[in-house]
Amino acid sequence: MRAPRLTFERARALRGAMTLPEVVLWQALRAGKLAGLRCRRQHPIGPFILDFYCPASRLAVEVDGSAHDVPDQARHDERRTAWLAERGIRVLRFAAADLLKPDMLEGVLLTIAEAAAEGRVAALPRSRGGREPSEPNGG
């Protein structure tokens, strides 16, 4: 889903201002280091910017700081998660503090790898012209 131009600009700015827990997670995820999983950071989808997005598994990974404990933010997070779920995107949320603890980070990475493996989407073959292949029964 294409995001508005302003969302793309905000995502670009956020890539340069990542929090320490986001940087720690990005170092583990970048360039397929985690079970060959390819992820994007600060990825815009619709009106939202996902901390990390793994397109092959349609998996979003969010790093939640203490601001996400506030009731208004928690409701916003729930609406956002529901919006993404309607579009087939699963969301994993992790506390920022957990990413800074080596013993917890290992568990976070294992959880991400397992969720990605469960949701891995097989690439569909494309017909000439870049269109999706038709259904076998003429659909």
- For residue range 98-130, list pLDDT tens digits in order: 999 988 998 999 999 999 998 765 443 333 344
Q: What is the pTM of this model?
A: 0.74
Q: Where are the domains of the chain?
A: 5-117
CATH class of 5-117: alpha beta
- Strand duo 90-95 + 59-64: pairing: parallel
Write phi, then psi, for 116 (nearest 5 degrees). Answer: -65, -40
DSSP string, 64-75: E-GGGGSHHHHH
**Average of per-residue pLDDT values in the chain:** 79
pLDDT, greater one: 76 or 122 = 76
Distance of CA 80 to the CA centre of its chain: 12
For Cα atoms 108, 54, 26, give the angle at the middle one, nearest 5 degrees.
55
